[in-house]
Amino acid sequence: MSTLVQTPEPPYYAVIFSSQRTEADRGYGQMAERMMQIASQQPGFLGAESVRGANGFGITVSYWANEEAIAAWKAHLDHKPAQEAGKRIWYADYQLRVAKVERAYGKLRYKIKEDDLRGSEIAALLGEHLRSLAAVTPEGSMHALDIDKLRAPHVTFWSVWDGAQLVGCGALKELDPWHGEVKSMRTAATHLRKGVGSQMLDHLIFEARLRGYRRLSLETGAGPYFTPAHNLYQKFGFLPCGPFGSYKEDPNSRFFTREL
């Protein structure tokens, strides 16, 4: 069994190749290894998983950012000889299927823990968070909380870890006994598009339900920089809404909410 996966964030595409091997090897193992090396260097390649049983039946699933990347790999000059040899020599039968992955679930990859905001790693990540927002947000329209405000009694802060590496954070602010607000959602630059934000947001929704909140809301920026955040929130069922709590109408803000 071989595995090469970068845990992509949906949506993405899966090419599912199932095959029954013939008894003839004739360079199959060497070619399969070479194809994986070349595929991993192609634009849009996200990873692959492969397994083959003792009876010769196997499945390889490769993951791609879009259909254009899949078509380019199929037409790749180095890929053509392997395709032809597979048809003529290596496979008694095979099927290839292409599917769009809209949702993906599995064992939680990252550890989320309540954080006291005393660590230097957290201070650095939050400092980066505030600086990046200040660079794209007009003065007076930035509502991110600094460390002191995140230590307020009505705010709970969590950090996200990949082993010993800090990879993200998020917070939950209580607006009233029935209404919570998502704050300080941030993913470290090294782990963008690897599911950190999704796992953190899922955790915040779970915690809000445990507390008995009936609604969870958030404020974020309105420009192109914030489009990935908008997409993430809407994927988790948040809908656009008007200002809530102490917020006021602002062309530089977007507001979202969802019932729990």
Side-chain-side CA neighbours of residue 229 (13 Å)? 22
DSSP H helix total and E strand total for the chain: 7, 12
Is 168:187 a contact under the CB 8 Å cutoff? yes
**Mean pLDDT within 187-199:** 92
How does DSSP classify residue 209? H
Is 69:48 a contact under the CB 8 Å cutoff? no
Tokens 């053509």 locate to 80
Task: Tell me: pLDDT of 5 over 70.
Answer: no
| 73/65 Cα distance (integer angstroms) | 12
Helix 196-210 × helix 227-235 angle, to 10°: 50
pLDDT band at 210; cut points 50, 70, 90: very high
**Mean pLDDT within 63-81:** 93
**Mean pLDDT within 82-99:** 93
pLDDT tens by residue, 226-252: 999 999 999 999 999 999 999 999 999
Task: Tell me: pLDDT of 92 over 60.
Answer: yes
Same fold: 2-101 with 111-259: no
| 35/29 Cα distance (integer angstroms) | 10
Task: Tell me: pLDDT of 106 over 80.
Answer: no
**Mean pLDDT within 98-119:** 88
CATH architecture for residues 2-101:
2-Layer Sandwich (3.30)
Reduced to 3 states (helix: H, G, I; strand: E, B; else coil), residue 65 is coil
| 238/225 Cα distance (integer angstroms) | 19
What does DSSP say about strands 111-114 and 155-162: parallel, antiparallel, or unpaired? antiparallel
pLDDT at position 9? 67
Closest CA to 35 of 98, 94, 78, 95: 78
Domain map (residue ranges) of the chain: 2-101, 111-259
pLDDT at position 10? 77
CB atoms closer than 10 angstroms to residue 175:
16
Task: Assess whether the previous peptide bond of 11 is cis (omega < 30° from 0).
Answer: yes
Task: Tell me: pLDDT of 2 over 90.
Answer: no
pLDDT band at 138; cut points 50, 70, 90: very high
| 94/21 Cα distance (integer angstroms) | 9
Name the β-bridge partners of 258. 216
User: CATH classification of 111-259 is 3.40.50.1100, yes or no?
Assistant: no
Is 44:66 a contact under the CB 8 Å cutoff? yes
**Mean pLDDT within 158-169:** 96
| 212/128 Cα distance (integer angstroms) | 33
pLDDT band at 29; cut points 50, 70, 90: confident
